[in-house]
Amino acid sequence: MKLDRPVTGGPCWTELGTSDLEAAKRFYADVLGWRPETDPRQEAGGYTVAHIGDAAVAALTPLYQETQPVAWNVSFAVADADATAEKVRTAGGTVLMEPIEVFDIGRFTVAMDPGGAAFQMWQARTFPGAGLFNAPGSLGWVELLTRAPERAETFYTTVFGWTVRPSEHYPQWGVDGADFGGMMTMDEKFPPEVSPHWLPYFAVTDVDATAATATEAGGTVLMQPTSIADVRRIAVLRDPQGAVFGVYADRGEG
């Protein structure tokens, strides 16, 4: 993506809710080279931050509710979590969790768009979000998979003010024209039980090698490594607990 740091309206963080935190830590350390550090405070509930070098790149957490699915979640930076939550409601979305304080580092809320895709919003205080983008092991793209693309475009441009690079097959989201993600329409190839969702893509040096490593570590390749317009190679993987994520490498990076 064209963003290299958290900016208002753009993706700033991604976190995994998992049924087996220790297994997930091992898997992503093997596959993406992460160094996980779990917050020892009891009130942190096992919240684990993954690092590449000294940079925080993502989080891994236990499941906090029985109904919470094993899944990756994408957070978008906002200037005011409460005001943006109201925008979500006005635009036809649902606020799943009202804004709450997270220690002294920020304010957090969870919402769902009109098509059923959940996302998070983060009002930063001392923690702005990921300290690295687009480098191997870090977030480099986010993708909305939805069955209601027109409604999604209206919703997200209203709530976040995103720009949209139009395309018949793959519109791209941006902040002031700086693209950070795309939108895929879920067709008959997606089983009905697969809910609309946001999918994070992590940069890697070699997509084929990463897919092989994921398989060796107990994961599954859902979409085999594929070249896109001879400029990017991508794959979609599932970890051993069932969470889905993407990996990519641009031409010249592997």
Q: Grade residue 252 by pLDDT with cuts at 50, 70 and 90.
A: low
Residue type, 128: P
CA separation, residue 89 to residues 64, 78, 82, 113 (Å) = 24, 15, 11, 9
Look at residue 230 in the predicted model and tell me its pLDDT. 80
| Superfamily covering domain 139-250 | 2,3-Dihydroxybiphenyl 1,2-Dioxygenase, domain 1 (3.10.180.10)
**The total number of residues written for the chain in this structure:** 254
Core vs surface per residue 210-234: b (16+ CB within 10 A) or e: bbebbeebebeeeeebeeeeeebbb
Look at residue 129 in the predicted model and tell me its pLDDT. 97
Q: Grade residue 168 by pLDDT with cuts at 50, 70 and 90.
A: confident
27 pLDDT above the threshold of 60 = yes
Measure the CA–CA gap between 32 and 52, rounded to whole angstroms.
Answer: 9
| Whole-number percent of the chain with pLDDT over 70 | 99
Look at residue 251 in the predicted model and tell me its pLDDT. 76
Note the helical H segments in the chain: 21-32, 81-90, 149-160, 207-216
205-223 pLDDT per residue, tens: 999 999 999 999 999 999 9
pTM exceeding the 0.85 threshold for the entire prediction: yes
Q: Grade residue 115 by pLDDT with cuts at 50, 70 and 90.
A: very high
Average pLDDT, integer, range 221-245? 95
Q: If you average pLDDT over every residue of the chain, what do you get?
A: 95
Yes or no: say if 118 and 73 are a contact pair by the CB < 8 Å rule.
Answer: yes
Measure the CA–CA gap between 79 and 221, rounded to whole angstroms.
Answer: 37
Average pLDDT, integer, range 93-102? 96
Measure the CA–CA gap between 157 and 155, rounded to whole angstroms.
Answer: 6
Yes or no: say if 21 and 46 are a contact pair by the CB < 8 Å rule.
Answer: yes
Average pLDDT, integer, range 91-96? 97
133-163 pLDDT per residue, tens: 999 999 999 999 999 999 999 999 999 999 9
Look at residue 155 in the predicted model and tell me its pLDDT. 98
- Torsions phi, psi for 209 (to 5 deg): -65, -40
Average pLDDT, integer, range 217-233? 94
Yes or no: say if 48 and 39 are a contact pair by the CB < 8 Å rule.
Answer: yes
- Helix (H, G, I), strand (E, B), or coil: what is residue 171? coil
Q: How far is C-alpha 77 from the geometric centre of its chain's CA atoms?
A: 12
Indicate the domain borders of the chain. 11-124, 139-250
64 pLDDT above the threshold of 60 = yes
Straight-line distance from the first to the last Cα atom of the chain, in angstroms, rounded to the nearest whole number: 17
Average pLDDT, integer, range 22-51? 95
Domain range 11-124, CATH architecture? Roll (3.10)
Structure tokens given for 35: 């160094």
Yes or no: say if 99 and 108 are a contact pair by the CB < 8 Å rule.
Answer: yes
253 pLDDT above the threshold of 50 = no
Look at residue 254 in the predicted model and tell me its pLDDT. 35
